[in-house]
Structure 1
Amino acid sequence: MRQPFRRASVYLNLLLITEAVIGLLILLVTAYYHTLFAGYLSEIECRLVYGYLFGIYVFGAQLVVIFLCSLAMWRRVWRRRCTPNIRLLLSIWAFYSCVIIASGFGCVWNLYHSIDVLENAADTSLTRGIDMYYTCPEWKLLWDGLQWHKECCGVHGYKDWMSAEWMPKVEGNCSSMILAPYACCKRSCESCFNNMLPGDGQSIRGSNQQPFPALTVDSINANGCLPVFVDAVWNFFYILLALWVLSLKFLIVLCCMTKFILHRQNEGDGCDNVGLTDEDGHPLVVVKYPSNVRCVTIGEDDLVSDNIPDANYCNCNELDEEQCDY
């Protein structure tokens, strides 16, 4: 196939590589947010998240594999003459690429409708984690790391800790005191870590319970961790949607370029023998001959005869130019 304009193959390869890079970005972004979501959930809820993200993993892998393989396909196509088989191959390739992009839209749409499900799963999981804070070391490590790194406290707020069944109850005269883990403290608060036990004059019932520091609203992060999780899910959705839109735009450019290349081949390169005619408008026939044949001499009498003419072969390298008729 002939290139319809200068460096057409270079531009086409850049588009194919761009599509593969977009697929790789989708895989990396999905893996990052998958790890981020797993930090909020238990093992059962993590399996639920993996079920929702599995289709996105497949979509990104398809973009990488298909368009990297398309580089090798187009490299071979450029070396061949445009035939109906080539046209069929490129049509099937364009259709299959469109199906992949359409499946990506299905993944984005599925994630959009799953945000409420993921929010409810995170709410249930984190609430259960508060109840198991001192009975399950895994949940204690998860909550401490989550509240310290995300700068949040509790599921919906710091009051979730005070309403836990195992938390010591504060008497009425100590209503201004807040009981919460140390991880809820603000990083900029120096006095937050000074006293581990409650201050003087603060009586707490249930002294057999695990002591907690007496904190104030100003010394802790009052916002809950669940809104942080929901914001992360929406950020992942917007990033995935942007990558899908980019892949769709580049695919449209690829399809338009493929259509233009086939159109130019159909006009100038004789695809389906269209465009190759003589002065009277009769179509010309392209005849392929072996590589060892240099010259074929056919007389005028042979052209008007119904019988197959005897071809006279000669080697132009051995004969003079005057003796070899083209």
Structure 2
Amino acid sequence: MKFEFRKKHRQQAKPEINDPGDDQMRQPFRRASVYVNLLLITEAVIGLLLLLVTAYYHALFTGYLSEIECRLVSGYLFGIYVFGAQLVVTFLCSVSMWRRLWRRRCTPNIRLLLAVWLFYSCVIIASGFGCVWNLYRGVEVLESAAETSLTRGIDMYYSCPEWKLLWDGLQWRKECCGVHGYKDWMSAEWMPRMEDNCSSTVLAPYACCKRSCETCFNNFQPGEGQSLGASSRQPFPALTAGSINTNGCLPAFTSAVWNFFYFLLALWVLALKFLIVLCCMTKFILHRQNEGDGCDYVGLTDEDGHPLVVVKYPCNVRCVTIGEDDMVSDVAPDVNYCDCPELENDECGY
């Protein structure tokens, strides 16, 4: 008994078994490709949110610091920018990669590609943990840098216009006064000393006034108020503690740093969870493919229950004859090539 596979014309060659797993990977469950794409897009969205949150807090931190300290903050946040960009680029490109993989057969090369891709994705998430840990260890450093910068800004309030604009804008927006409190202004070297009978009077910039205080700006004209000694640079208004914001600006900076840390930690945890789900789904898909759900042609039988044999031959082969003894052998038989110009011939000459 012999099985013959014949091909009269290349254009008319059609396989008798149209197995969906013959040319492409099978989806082991319904809409598997859709779920994979959703996970990949979610990871990219997390990376985009990470970039936006980092940019927002970066601009917020620089409002408290001078140019030198701003460079320090940029160095701390650079790794977070890189981490967010890696998430966006890697997983957006992965969407295109998976779309191509579904149209390919599950070969060892495909399995190796997915293994390398999973390893690289895990490395990216691990680098994100390093960014979170670096920011956590640097909170005290950033707080110390902000304190030094703001204290120097009080000493240079009138000698440097940039610092005057920064302090006035910062105190008005954040509704704070001084570094740790309003007394930081009164302890400045250039500030005139108050007499003991004026203990209820506070010397501070107008930006320290409460927005709801209507009497804070009353009866004040340029040239009036407390003079700054012999230099008489600019008068300071005599205010009361009840008309100004008594809280300092440094606690607001520290609170912003911790809020940014918590946002960063939450986004990293989300990225890690979705990556774990994606890894498990990828491993399950590869496991089903290895079981013959589209890779190894296992379990293909004819109508009588006999196992089917899939034979692939070069395009220049007209006829391949396999004997019955060869079918039960564990060793691949030698292929005999012949030319069968007509389908009516039952035997092929060797």
Equivalent residue for 1:308? 335
**Residue 206 (structure 1) aligned to one of 229, 252, 257:** 229
Aligned partner (choices 63, 82, 91) of residue 39 of structure 1: 63
Q: Is the 8 A contact 2:320 2:335 kept in 1?
A: no
Q: Matches of residues 171-190 of structure 1 in structure 2 within 5 Å?
A: 171-190=195-214
How many residues align? The count is 312
Q: CA–CA distance in 2 between the matches of 1:312 and 1:11? A: 49
Corresponding residue for 1:76?
100
- Could you tell me which of 195, 209, 215 is aligned with 1:191? 215
Q: Distance in 2 between matches of 1:57 and 1:253?
A: 24
Shift of the 278–187 alpha-carbon distance from structure 1 to 2, 3 Å rule, reads same
Cα distance in 2 for residues equivalent to 1:149 and 1:35? 14
How far residue 212 of structure 1 moved from its aligned partner, in angstroms, is: 1.1
- Going from structure 1 to structure 2, the CA distance change for 1:314 and 1:260 (only over 3 Å counts) comes to farther
1:23 is aligned to 47
Match of residue 188, structure 2, among 147, 160, 164 = 164
- Structure 1 residue 159 displacement after superposition: 0.2
Gaps of at least 5 residues in structure 2 are 1-24
CA contact (8 A) 2:63 2:170 kept: yes
Given that residues 158 and 164 in structure 2 are in contact (C-alpha distance below 8 angstroms), is that contact kept between their aligned partners in structure 1?
Answer: yes
Deviation string 1:86-130 (CA, Å, 9 cap, x unpaired) is: 111101100110000000000000000000000000000000000
Alignment map for 1:232-251 (pairs within 5 Å)? 232-251=256-275
Contact 1:169 1:205 in 2 (8 A): no
Superposed CA RMSD: 3.0
Conserved? CA contact 2:226–2:236, under 8 Å: no
- Tell me, in whole angstroms, the C-alpha distance in 1 between the residues paired with 2:151 and 2:340: 90
Shift in Å, 1:49: 0.4
CA positional deviation for 1:72: 1.1
1:268 to 285, 292, 305: 292
User: What is the TM-score when the length of structure 1 is the normalising length?
Assistant: 0.87
Are the aligned partners of 2:180 and 2:251 in contact in 1 as well (CA < 8 Å)?
Answer: yes
> SS in structure 2 opposite 1:310?
strand
Provide the identity percentage: 76
Distance 1:210 1:61 in 2: 49
Q: State the partner residue of 2:170.
A: 146
Distance 1:301 1:217, change over 3 A: closer
Higher helix share: 1
- Whether the 8 Å CA contact 2:48–2:85 is kept in 1: the answer is yes
CA contact (8 A) 1:23 1:59 kept: yes
CA deviations over 1:185-238 (Å, ceiling 9, x no partner): 00000001113269x9x9878363521111111111100000000000000000
1:132 and 1:139 in contact (8 A); partners too: yes
The corresponding residue for 1:217 is 241
Distance (Å, rounded) in 2 between the aligned partners of 1:323 and 1:188 = 105
2:111–2:286 CA contact under 8 A, matched in 1: yes
Does the CA contact (< 8 Å) of 1:168 and 1:209 recur in 2?
Answer: no
Partner of 1:101: 125
Are 2:176 and 2:249, in contact at CA under 8 Å, matched by a contact in 1? yes
Q: Give the Cα–Cα distance (whole angstroms) in 2 for the partners of residues 42 and 62 of structure 1.
A: 30
Q: Deviations over 1:10-32 (max 9, x none)?
A: 11000000000000111110011
Using the TM superposition, give the Cα deviation of residue 165 of structure 1 relative to its aligned residue in structure 2, in angstroms: 1.0
Asked if 1:252 is matched to 2:279, the reply is: no
Choose between structure 1 and 2 for higher RCO, CA contacts under 8 A separated by at least 6 residues. Answer: 2
User: 1:57 — aligned with what?
Assistant: 81
Which residue matches 2:148? 124
Tell me the alpha carbon deviations over residues 35-72 of structure 1, each in whole angstroms, 9 at most, x when there is no partner.
00000000000000001000000000000010011011
Give distance in 2, aligned partners of 1:302 and 1:313: 22
**Contact 2:73–2:142 (8 Å) recurs in 1:** yes
Matched residue type, 1:310: Y
Q: Any stretches of 5+ residues in structure 1 without a counterpart?
A: none
> In the alignment, is the contact (CA less than 8 A) between 1:52 and 1:111 conserved in 2?
yes
Q: CA deviation at 1:268?
A: 2.4
Aligned residue number for residue 66 of structure 1 = 90
- What one-letter code is carried by the residue in structure 2 that aligns with 1:153? C
